[in-house]
Amino acid sequence: MTPEFVVDIARQAIETVLMVAGPMLIAALSIGLIISIFQAATQINEQTMTFIPKIVGVFVTMLIFAPWMLQKASAFILMIFERLPHVKP
């Protein structure tokens, strides 16, 4: 197993993780921004007001993007298993 192979797999793993987590992170960020603007406009500082909508938003996003996320993760795992027999120790 060469260092280039390991670095390439690590790079692809990081790309896959960012791609799979991206929709949920974007949803949490946008919901947090909207709630923060609302709190600044109304001067309501309630912590649960930001926590609950973010959880619901991330959960809904996960339900919507779950097939795509599973397909990306499965493709990455299959790629690793396909390339592994060709690696020389």
Question: Consecutive 10-residue runs of the chain (89 residues): their mean pLDDT?
Answer: 86 95 95 91 83 93 96 94 78
Query: Residue 62's domain spans which residues?
Result: 16-84
Q: Is residue 34 part of a domain?
A: yes
> How far is it, in rounded angstroms, from Cα 66 to Cα 41?
35
How far, in whole angstroms, is CA 38 from its chain's centroid? 26
- Assigned domain for 78 exists: yes
Measured N-to-C along each axis, helices 3-42 and 48-83 cross at an angle, to the nearest 10 degrees, of 170
Rounded to two decimals, the pTM is 0.78
d(CA 57, CA 62): 8
Half-sphere exposure of 37 (CA within 13 A, CB side): 5
The count of domains in the chain is 1
Q: Is residue 9 domain-resident?
A: no
Query: Is position 5 within any domain?
Result: no
Q: Is 2 within a domain?
A: no
